[in-house]
Each structure stands twice: as structure tokens, then as C-alpha cells.
Copies of this chain bind each other. A is one copy, B any other.
Amino acid sequence: MQIMLSGDRPTGPLHIGHYVGSLKNRVALQNNHHSFLLIADAQALTDNMADPDKVCRNIREVALDYLAVGIDPTKSAMCVQSCLPALADIAMLYLNLVSVARLERNPTVKDEIRLRGLARDIPAGFLCYPVAQAADITAFKATVIPVGQDQIPMIEQTNEIVRRVNRQAGVSCLPEATGLLSATSRLPGVDGQRKMGKSQNNAIPLSASPATIHEAVQRLYTDAGHIRISDPGQVEGNAVFAYLDAFDEDKDALEELKVHYRRGGLADKDLKQRLETLLQKLIEPIRERRLALARDPSFVWDVLQEGTKKAHTITQTTAEDIRSALGLFRFATARRP
């Protein structure tokens, strides 16, 4: 069985974009992978240092989301990043293997810097986060990483470091990782924004009430040129169709709807009704399980404790493996002469 690592930054409730883009996959993959879910609170701090409360609070919320969608803690170890000292240890070591110029060329970092208008005022931790992610991935010796298209450069950065370590070690100490792209790429926000975001008030959370789901679907952007029902409508760039593509499993019926919509005569409200029914049906059991789980905080705590303990052992061992492969003295484990 291969080792799979995935995870989320605990900065807000997970939403249906996470579900279709990644969580659904993880639930399926946990059956034939050694699976680890890293709740990346330390990484979340790279740009939430002014609001650590938010990060702390959401550790439990993300764990609840995982359990509610069907992550099975006996198959997937859920662990808290800040409780795994080996990750910082390995990250500090890797910082010596990557140049500042290389980090600045990382497309994901470049994009984020541009999006946030940060320029050189970015926190150093933010510039260095591809290295921290490489530390996370390699600490688990993970080979399968479910990712979005925009995360592929992170996998490349990781594998560069892996090759650098293995070259210096003269043995294959660390495995290279492969990004596993999900069938559905990113879901647009209900406001028509390119991406549904945890903290952008344009998401449908997995804990959404029926009324919230209804309102969100009503808010959903369709085709601004589709004024009268009889007008021909546009499918591309139409968020309702993007969502139907992601959630409607009756692909033939969906194809017919697209043809009909393009021709004219299909009302937005009928499409939205169809989508709402699908989403209500998807979210209801998740919401109910989540409510039930939230009533038993010790269970969630135990799940996190146990997963973190398991992850601790593995990541500490890897840190020692790396040090020893690189020929670094480890005084703590050296024999008395």
C-alpha cells in the first residue's frame, strides 16, 4: 500500500468545493492507501499570525468535517501539524537546500503574492512555505498527494528536494511524490469568483443548513445575458452548470439540459431547483453526522490524539533517517565513546 498525505489549513469550515475536489477522493482512497490527514495549523499561521484564535478553533471543525464526510479514523490518521516537531526540524534543514531565487520562482508563491498584493513585504514564512510543505510530504514518506492543478509546483519543489537529499546521501532515502489530480477541478464561488474560498463568504459549507443551501443556490451566478426564459443561454462560465457538472451524476440528462439551455426555453430557476435538490441530498447526511459528532468532543479529541501520536512516531523516524543519510551527527542518539 502506498502512503497518501493530504490535509487542510484550519482557517474556516470545509465546503462543497473541498468535497468534490478532494474529500470524496480521500474517502475512496483510504481503503487502499496508508492515509494521513494533516491539519496544517502551523502553515495556517504563515498568514494568520494576527488571528491565531481562528486557526486554533478550526482544528476541531476541520476534524469534524473529515469525520462527517466519511473519513474513517481507523484508516486515515488525522494529525495536528504543530504537534509534530520533526516537521519544523526537517523544514529548517531543507531551507539550506533551496535557494531564495528558486522559492521566488515558485508559481504558487508568485500567484499568492500577487493576489494578496504583498510584494517583498511577505512574511519570510510565506516565502518558505513550499519548503515546509516538502518537509510535511517527505516526513510521512508519502508518494500519493491528492492536489489541485495549482498545487503541482509544490510537488515539483518537493521532488527537487528529494532528489537533492538522495543524491547527497548516495542512497534512496526519500521517495518522490506524485500529485493525484481530482476529476473536478476547482469549483467557482457562489458569487461567480474563480474559486470557492474558506474565508471569502462565497462558499457552501459542509455544515450548511437547508436555508443556507437554498439562499446560496439562489445567489448563484448564471448567464447575465439570459434575460428571458426563451433567450439562448450560455453554459460556459455559468456557475450553475459548473456545479451540476460536479454534482449531477446523471450525465445524459445533464447533457440534454445544456442543449436545451443553449437553445433557449430553459429557466434558470428550474436549473437551480435541480441543483438545490442535489446539494440538499448530498449535505443532509453530512450535516446530521457532523451534529451528532459535535455532541461528543472527547471522541474527536481522541481521534486527533491517536492520529497525532502515530504521525509523531513516523515523522521522528524519518527525521532521523534523513540526518543519518546526509551524514549529520545526531548527538542525542550517539553512543558514549
What residues on B are CB-neighbors of A331 within 8 Å? 59, 80, 82-83, 304-305, 308
Identical copies of this chain, number: 2
What residues on B are CB-neighbors of A83 within 8 Å? 330-332
CB of A70 closer than 8 Å to a CB of B: no
CB of A278 closer than 8 Å to a CB of B: no
Count contacts on A: residues with CB < 8 A to the other chain.
Answer: 61
How many angstroms from the CA of A287 to the CA of B103 in the assembled complex?
46
CB of A52 closer than 8 Å to a CB of B: yes
CB of A302 closer than 8 Å to a CB of B: yes
Query: A96 and B46: CB pair below 8 A?
Result: yes
Query: B98 and A56: CB pair below 8 A?
Result: no
Query: B97 and A92: CB pair below 8 A?
Result: no
Binds B, one of A121-129, A137-145, A219-227: A121-129
Partner of A298, one of B128, B304, B337: B337
Q: Kindly identify, within residues 54 to 95 of chain A, every residue whose CB is under 8 Å from any CB belonging to chain B.
A: 55-56, 59, 80, 82-83, 85-86, 88-89, 91-93, 95
What residues on B are CB-neighbors of A92 within 8 Å? 42, 88, 91-92, 125, 132
Nearest CB of chain B from residue A94's CB, rounded to whole Å = 8
What residues on B are CB-neighbors of A323 within 8 Å? 82
Query: A101 and B88: CB pair below 8 A?
Result: no
Query: B327 and A56: CB pair below 8 A?
Result: yes
Interface bits A30-46 vs B (CB < 8 Å: 1, else 0)? 00000000000110011
Interface bits A94-112 vs B (CB < 8 Å: 1, else 0)? 0111111101100000000
Interface bits A322-337 vs B (CB < 8 Å: 1, else 0)? 0100111111101011
Nearest CB of chain B from residue A24's CB, rounded to whole Å = 27
What residues on B are CB-neighbors of A337 within 8 Å? 297-298, 301
CB of A183 closer than 8 Å to a CB of B: no
Interface bits A295-312 vs B (CB < 8 Å: 1, else 0)? 001100110110010000
Query: B120 and A95: CB pair below 8 A?
Result: no
Most buried by B among A46, A327, A328: A328
How many angstroms from the CA of A95 to the CA of B94 in the assembled complex?
15
How many angstroms from the CA of A131 to the CA of B59 in the assembled complex?
27
Partner of A131, one of B124, B301, B330: B124
What residues on B are CB-neighbors of A128 within 8 Å? 95, 124, 128
CB of A49 closer than 8 Å to a CB of B: yes
Closest to A132 in B: B92
CB of A115 closer than 8 Å to a CB of B: no
What residues on B are CB-neighbors of A131 within 8 Å? 124
Partner of A82, one of B297, B298, B304, B330: B330
Sorted nearest first, the 9 A-B pairs with minimum C-beta distance are A56-B329, A95-B125, A96-B125, A297-B337, A101-B120, A88-B92, A88-B88, A80-B331, A83-B332
